[in-house]
Amino acid sequence: MREGEFGLEINAGHLMGVDEGDLLALLPSAASSLDDALGYAEVTFSDTFLAEIEPVAVEGFEAVDPFGLPEGVFARALEDDVDFTLRVAAPEGDIPDELAAALAFLAEDAAQRLEFVPAGDPADVRLAVIPDSPRPGAVYLLPGSGFFEADKADQTPSVGFEGRDAFEIAGAMEASLETISRAVNLLRMGGQYDQTDLDVRLTLQTRNRRERELRDLDTASVPKLIPRDEVHVLAVNNEDFPIDANVLYIGSDYSISHFWRGRLNPGDELKKGLFRITDEAFGRDRVIIILSPAEAGSDEPLDLRFLAQDAVVVTRGTGISGGGFAGALREAGFGTTTRGATAIDDGSGPSPAILQFDLDTVPES
């Protein structure tokens, strides 16, 4: 949480299930329980990745002074369910008949996972046909903000529709939206399930050729990293039981990389180099660390490598034919039949956690 241009801001928006009118608890830290709440705030504005909040009075709490809050205050949504529906905004204006038919096929075929909304409504993906772009015969899959840079069109996912029938177009779009949905839903789970009662100390660190000593990343803000910067993790298990950990990386291109899994026994300290920033894509990336109490009797740590996927195909021209914590993560995939909200805490013991750290990768100046 930080002071923004129009008041208090948090790095969470529609994508993480934070919407206008939601009530958030203001907590001393991410690990705090609701019993430790300093006060409450209401979301007054929400964008894809950002929300503005305003302290409010609720029963037992007066509206807190937003400038009197201690440093490091964490805002937590009061709902712990995750909606896995991918909201897709229709293109603005008139569109070719074959594309309109493809969207109708897609809406029917993937109804359990897709919700098509009007062009101006909040959405996870915005479809756009841009006649003066490098691909006038394609529909672009833009982020929820709708931001499009013509000089980076070759890095923006798109599906060609000229010379193809509606079934081919729908198949190609479904493949791209499936890739996007898996990344979006994993981020949603991270945004909704980032509180934990597990006593694990986690620190992200970085170094590069110019500064070879590891130094802590300031994750209270969004650090900027350039190509060849390294990211490391330092983790200490302060619990008296083993904890399984998986480390993933979600790129701005919707790729999901699985970098490490392992088991931290009581008192164990993990020092692990994770990855090095490349110049293949720039934007808002996320490190996701998933912690869960080790399953009794299991000799192997929880294996979440099935979550890994390649980036969404930038230019797709042809069609395509055709319980428990880990179970909830599988349910976040696009191709299942259950729609709606899914809680992943079964109440049987210490809760697992999905901790998210945002990074901005930028070109070297």
The pLDDT score that the predictor gives to residue 241 is 93
The sign of the dihedral angle between the CA atoms of 103, 108, 113, 115 is: positive
Q: What is the pLDDT along the chain (365 residues), one digit of tens a residue?
A: 667 666 688 776 665 567 788 888 888 766 566 777 888 888 888 776 678 888 888 877 888 887 777 776 777 776 555 677 888 999 998 899 999 999 998 888 776 778 889 998 888 899 999 999 989 999 999 988 888 888 777 888 899 998 889 999 998 998 899 899 888 888 877 765 555 678 888 899 999 888 889 999 887 778 899 999 999 999 999 999 999 999 999 988 889 999 999 999 999 999 989 889 988 878 888 899 988 888 888 889 988 898 899 888 877 654 443 355 666 666 565 444 344 444 444 445 567 788 888 899 998 87
The pLDDT score that the predictor gives to residue 263 is 94
Distance CA 75, CA 24 (A): 6
pTM of this prediction exceeds 0.75 = no
The pLDDT score that the predictor gives to residue 147 is 84
The pLDDT score that the predictor gives to residue 339 is 40
The pLDDT score that the predictor gives to residue 337 is 38
The pLDDT score that the predictor gives to residue 14 is 60
